[in-house]
Amino acid sequence: MAGAAAEQRRLATVVESWLGRPVLIVGDAMLDEWRFADSDRLCREAPAPVLTLRRRISAAGGAANTAVNVATLGGRAVLVAPVGADVAGDELHDCLDRAGVWDRTVSQPGRPTPVKRRMLAGNQILLREDSGDPDDALDPDGVSRLLTALDCATEELRAAAGGEAPTLVVCDYGLGALPAPVRAWLVAQRERYATVALDAHDLADWRGLAPTVVTPSFAEATRLLARAGGASRPTGGTDLHLEHPDSDPTDGPSELTVGAAPGGTHTDSTAHTDGAAHTDSAAQTDGTAPGFVRADAPGRAAGISADRLGPVGEPTASEGRVAFTGDGLSVTGTGVTVNTEAGAGVDRAVLAESRLAELHAHTGADVVAVTLDTEGAVVGGADGERRRSHSTPVPASHAVGAGDAYLAAMTLALAADAPLPTAAQLAQLAATITVSDTGTCVCLRDDLLAALDMRPETGGHPALVGTDELDAIVAAHREAGRSVVFTNGCFDVLHRGHVRYLEQARALGDLLIVAVNSDGSVRRLKGPDRPVNPVEDRGALLAALSCVDHVVIFEEDSPAALIEAVRPDVYVKGGDYPPELVPEAPLVRRLGGQVRTLGYVPDRSTSAIIERIRSHSQDASPHATDREPDAASSQAQVSMPDTSLSTGTQPASAPPTGSSTTTRPS
C-alpha cells in the first residue's frame, strides 16, 4: 500500500508540474453536435423510428477538443485553425471560450466549419451526419493568414512563458486545414518548439517534422508501414509475417497483408466453406508463400465466417473505407487490410510492438504510441523502452474524443520531462476516466488527480491559505485559463443554506475562493456575542467542503482589498436584492468581473439558528443564563459554525466544460 501511495504521489507531482505549460495546437477543428431524442414508435412511411428531440449539446471536436483537453488538464492552450464564418463556427468559439482556450482561429468565409452531428435515442447512436469536405481547400489568402496566426501565436506563447519555447501539437485529420504550405512551414520552424506531438491520419505527409511523439491508431500505423515498402521478412521474436507489395496498385493505395509466417498451418473450416482465403492451395494460387494468408478485403479475412464480418468502423476523410470485423481482429483502411487472426494467438498489441522500431524509423519520432481503442495502447521510446497500457471496454458513444484526452496528457507529460512510463500511464488514465458517459470526452485536471486519490491542491496549495499565498495561487490558475469565483462572509454557524449557496457559487466557474471574516471583524459587524465559533473552526469546516477550493481569512470589515488582489471573474453575494445594490459591485465591475446574487433559503439564517439554540437552553433551565454553560452545551455550540450569508433556491446553471449552446456569452 505504501508503494502504491508513493507512485500516486509521483504521478500527481507530474500533473502539478505541467500547470500553465504553453501549448500551441494547430489542425482540423470541428464541432461535435449531440442530439438526444426519445422514440417509442415507427413511422408509417418506412421502418424507421419517430424521434422527438429532447436535448442538444455542442462540443469542440478534433484539434479543438485536443486544445480543450490541454486547457482543462492545466496547460495554457492556444488553438490556431481555420474556422468557418457560420453558426457552427460561432458555437465552436463558444466552446473554446468556456474551456479557457486562447482562441486564435482564423475565419474562413465560404468554407464551412466541419460538423459531426449524432442523433441518439435511448443512449444509442442511430445516425451520424458529417459536413465539411476535405476538398474545400484553403485559398492562398487563407493559407497566408493561417501562417501569420501560427507565427504570432508562437511568439505570444513564448512571451507569456517568459521566453520558454512552447510545445506544438499537430492534429491532421485530413479535412484540409493543413495543406502542403502549412506543413512545410511547420517542418521549417521545428526548432521554435521544445516538444512536438503529431496525430495524423496519414503520417507519411509529415516526413521531416521529427516529432517528439506520434500517436497513430493501429490502422494508421499499418497504413504507414504498407506505404513505406520493404522486403518481406519475418519479424523478430514473433511468428508473424508482413508482406508489402513492391508498388502501389494502380487502383488504390498499398495493401499490407498480415498472417501466419511462411510454413504456418493455421486454418479454419469456415475459410473453406464461405469462400474466404485459406492457407493451402488458395494461398499458393495468388502467388503468396505457402501458409501465408492474403486478406484482400474485409469479407475475405481468413478464418472468419461471413456472419461475423461487417463494417463497424467508419470512413475517415480522404479514405475509401475503414472497417473492423465484428470481433475486432481485422481492420481495413484505405485499401490496407490487417488480419491478425491468421496468426494464431497473436493480438494487435503484439503486432504493434513488433513493428515499433520501423515506426520510429519512418516517423523520426522519439516516442511512438500506437493506440488500440478499448485495448489500450503500446508505447515505445527510441531507446527501445516499451510500455503496454490497458483500458476498460466501453460503448463507442462513450469514447468519442478519448484519443484527444490521451494526446493532451501524453504531450503535457513529455513536455514536463516525465519519464516515458509515467507519460504513458498518465495518458491512458486521462483517456480512461473520460469515457463514463455519452458525449465528447474531456479530462479535467481535478478528475485526473482524484483518480490518483489526490486533492487538486496536492503540490503545495492547501485549501486553507494565507493572503500572501493567495496571489501566487490565483496567478497559477489564471495561467491555466481557469475562471475564479469569489465570495465572503462570517460563516459562524454553517448550515444547509450555506452549503447550497456555496455549491451554486462553485458552479459559476472553475475555482471557488471563500474569504472569511476574522473574529474581530465579526464582533464589529455582529456584536460582542459573536462569533459563536472561532475563525479556526469556521475556516476548517469551509475548507472541508468539496465545492470550496480555497479559504482565506481577512481582518478588515470589507473584502475590498482581497477583491483587488484576486480580481474575480464572478463575485457572489447572498441576498434577494439585485446585483446593483451589492456594495462591492462597482469595484468588481471595474476589475472586469461579474456580480451575482443568490437568494435566501427560508428559515436558514445564522441568527435564527442561534436564537433557537438559546431558546432551547432557556427552556431547559430558567437559570441557564445565570451560570456557565455545561460541557454538553458548549460542545453543541462549537459543532455549529456560522456565516451571515443565507442561500437561495435558484440554482446557477453552468454548461459542461468545453460544451455550449448555440448562443455565445456576452
Would you please indicate which residues are annotated as catalytic (active-site) residues?
Answer: 404
Q: Enumerate the H helices of 129-276 as residue ranges.
A: 140-160, 180-188, 218-228, 269-273
Q: How many residues does the chain have?
A: 666
Q: How far apart are CA 591 and CA 586, in angstroms?
A: 9
Reduce the secondary structure of 434-452 to three states and give it as a string: CCCCCCCCCCCHHHHHHHC
Distances (CA, A) of 214 to 165, 205, 654: 20, 13, 35
Closest CA to 319 of 113, 540, 130: 130
The partner residues of 57 in beta bridges, in order of sequence, read 34
Q: Are 68 and 95 in contact (CB under 8 A)?
A: yes
Cell 451589492 -> residue: 582
* Helix (DSSP H) and strand (DSSP E) numbers for the chain: 21, 28
CA-to-CA separations, 48 to 35, 265, 360, in angstroms, rounded: 17, 47, 48
**In this structure, which amino acid lies at residue 349?**
A
Q: What is the DSSP string of 170-208?
A: EEE-SSSSS-HHHHHHHHHTGGG-SEEEEEES-GGGGTT
Per-residue DSSP letter, 657: T
Q: Answer positive or negative: Cα dihedral of 547, 552, 554, 559.
A: negative
β-partners of residue 259 are: 241
Is 337 strand, coil or helix?
strand
Q: Assign residue 622 a region (left: φ > 0; alpha: ψ between -120 and 50; beta: otherwise).
A: alpha
Q: Which helix (H) or strand (E) holds 322?
A: strand 322-324
Taking each helix axis from N to C end, the angle separating 2-17 and 420-432, rounded to the nearest 10 degrees, works out to 90
CB distance 620 to 633 below 8 Å: no
Distance CA 324, CA 655 (A): 35
